[in-house]
Amino acid sequence: MASLLLRGSVRCLSRSLVLKTSRSQCLLRNALPFSRNSARAVASSTSTSVAAAATTVDSPTSAAEPSTSYHEESGAPAFRANIDFKFETDRVRALRNENSAAMKKKLEAEERQALIDNGKALKEELEGLETALAVADNALQREGQKIPNLTHPDVPVGGEEVAVLLEEVGAQPKFNFEAKDHMAVGEALDIIDFETGAIVSGTKFYYLRREAALLELALINWAMHKAATRGFIPMTTPDLVRESVFEKCGFQPRADNTQIYGVRDSGLCLTGTAEIPLGGVHMDKILSEAELPIKMAAFGHCFRTEAGAAGAAGRGLYRVHQFSKVEMFVISTPEQSNALHDELLEMEVEMFRELGLHFKVLDMPTADLGAPAYRKYDIEAWMPGLQRYGEISSASNCTDYQSRRLNIRYRPQAQESGEGGKDVGKGGKVKKTPTQFVHTLNATACAVPRMIVAILENFQQEDGSVVVPEVLRPYMMGIEVIKRD
């Protein structure tokens, strides 16, 4: 009798496999045109459908088959393909597990062979579905990139001309001589060399020598010291990062006007900011609430094409293809992020005040936020040689925009209920609280070239020398004045 029942189970499993295989093959056939055009923009996709798709990608797949009415009516192929392949992959994987479990029982040779054949077919089917799911996931990610983050209700609407002045620190320095720009100052002191940089690497590359090289190192060490004393974990990061991580952070390395350098045939890009490799540190992880906030500060090299950035505004060190920077990155709960954003801004203000710079703090408008930012503060320092204010730092709260794409979650602490202060379910089992997406924030502690611009121009002397800000001298071998020997 037991043998009869087992034989019936094997036949039932085989019949089920045939039905599921037919459905999977149909899905794969229907997806072929989509797969070939997975990177193409889908004009009929709506903001609502893509946002819903992003949520679906990050949420666990339901055990029951989802209704297809919504995504079929929405006209969003990326969303539809992702849902279909995710569901079907789970079905075939479950079927394979059933097949494996059945093989552990005592079987006759014929029955065992049937299960072995079924297992092979299921393995092939699953491999095909997983490949198709990867294509669908990639296409959905590209569609999601077209949707920017929401904005804070206090963010001004419009272009940079409507930015709100939050604070102005210090006053413009007064000179009893005609102030030079940083290029004139640096070349006269023989500490900046763009000419050799152009010969060796091309335009907008440079050499720093003597005190300028020491000044770069001093700025980096000073900034890292300041961040570490405020609880940030000091880090160094890779200069090359996968394209997929760029995309999940809200950057588009393949766009026509991209600022990102790609490495041919590698799937890697040179980082434009340490924000990107720092964002990837906890990718696809579930953190505990007790771990948050996580504060990281990284020294990294930045590479940018600066496409379309020609002109006097980008003269000299102000806009270059390669530079060093100390970047702060924070992972927090949603409840913590606004206060942490204010903390990052307060740190930046404190640092630039210590340097003795005159600067203003701006609440940036919608047109200047970029895709990931919910709210962004910019700090612009007065640059007397350039006769204008120039951005030296920014601080952004990206809420859950990056974490949804990077799949960084946290598990809130259980609410105190029941005995022992734990959330107790049926049968006395402790229930796990559902995970939530973290918030991410980033801020520039020190973008070296622009800080050098500000220092050379604001602290130049009539004899051509430059006074080193007092806070930097311990990091610069005690040098107080940069002067030509």
What HEC string does 252-309 produce?
CCCCCCCCCCEECCCCEEECCCCHHHHHCCCCCCEEEHHHCCEEEEEEEEEECCCCCC
- Cβ neighbors of 317 (< 8 A, separation 6 or more) are 182, 183, 186, 192, 206, 323, 449, 450, 452, 453
Evaluate whether 445 touches 223 at the Cβ level (below 8 Å): yes
Q: Give the pTM.
A: 0.74
Rounded CA-CA distance 116/10 in Å is 11
Q: Report pLDDT digits (tens) over 193-248.
A: 999 999 999 999 999 999 999 999 999 999 999 999 999 999 999 999 999 999 89
Q: Could you tell me the two tokens for 211? A: 């005190």
Three-state SS at 466: strand
**In this predicted model, what pLDDT tens digit does every residue of 399-424 receive, in sequence order?**
999 999 999 999 998 754 444 445 66
Collect all residues with Cβ–Cβ distance below 8 Å to 111 and sequence separation of at least 6: 6, 7, 10
CA–CA separation, 57 and 126 (whole Å): 19
**Sequential pLDDT tens for the chain (485 residues):** 444 333 444 344 444 444 444 444 444 444 434 432 332 233 233 233 333 333 333 333 333 333 333 333 444 677 788 888 888 999 999 998 998 888 888 888 888 888 888 989 999 999 998 888 888 887 887 777 788 999 999 999 999 999 999 999 999 999 999 999 999 999 999 999 999 999 999 999 999 999 999 999 999 999 999 999 999 999 999 999 999 999 899 888 777 778 899 999 899 999 999 999 999 999 999 999 999 999 999 999 999 998 655 566 678 999 999 999 999 999 999 999 999 999 999 999 999 999 999 999 999 999 999 899 999 999 999 999 999 999 999 999 999 999 999 999 999 987 544 444 456 656 666 678 899 999 999 999 999 999 999 999 999 999 999 999 999 999 999 999 999 87
Instruction: Give the separation between CA 189 and CA 211, rounded to whole angstroms.
Output: 9
Active site residues per annotation = 304, 319, 391, 394, 450
Distance CA 177, CA 362 (A): 30
